[in-house]
Amino acid sequence: MRNSTDKFYINGAWVRPVSEDVHELINPADETAVAKIPMANEADVNAAVEAARIAFDSYSMTTRDERLDLLRKLLELYNAAYDEIADLMVLEMGTTRSFSKAAQAWVGTAHLENAIAALEREVFEEMRGSTLISKEPIGVCALITPWNWPMNQLVVKAAPALAAGCTMVAKPSEYSPLSSIRFAELVHEAGFPAGVYNHITGAGEVAGECLSRHPDVDMVSITGSTRAGVAVAKAAAETVKRVTQELGGKSANIVMRDVDVEKAVRDGVDACYINCGQACRAPSRLLIPMEYMEQAKVWAKEAADAHDVGDPMSDVKLGPVVNELQFKRIQSLIQAGIDEGATLVAGGTGLPEGLRKGFYVKPTVFADVTNDMTIAREEVFGPVIALIGYESEDDAVRIANDTVYGLSGYIQCADMDKARSIARRLRVGSIWINGADWEAEAPFGGYKQSGNGREHAEWGLEDYLEVKSTAGYA
Indicate which residues carry an active-site annotation.
246, 280
List, in order, residues 6 or more apart from 48 with CB less than 8 Å away: 8, 10, 40, 169, 198, 200
Kindly write down the DSSP assignment for every residue of 73-130, as one continuous string: HHHHHHHHTHHHHHHHHHHHH---HHHIIIIITHHHHHHHHHHHHHHHH---EEEETT
**What gap in Å lies between CA 41 and CA 473, rounded to an integer?**
45
Residue 308, amino acid: D
In the beta sheet, which residues pair with residue 387?
286
**What gap in Å lies between CA 171 and CA 2, rounded to an integer?**
19
Give whole-number Cα distances, 348 to 335, 338, 373, in Å: 8, 9, 16
CA angle 421, 436, 97 (to 5 degrees): 145
Residue 2 CB-density burial (10 A; 0-12 exposed, 13-18 middle, 19+ buried): exposed
DSSP label of 335: H
**What gap in Å lies between CA 101 and CA 85, rounded to an integer?**
9
List, in order, residues 6 or more apart from 120 with CB less than 8 Å away: 64, 68
DSSP label of 455: B
Residue 343, amino acid: T
**What gap in Å lies between CA 200 and CA 202, rounded to an integer?**
7
CB 235 within 8 A of CB 67: no
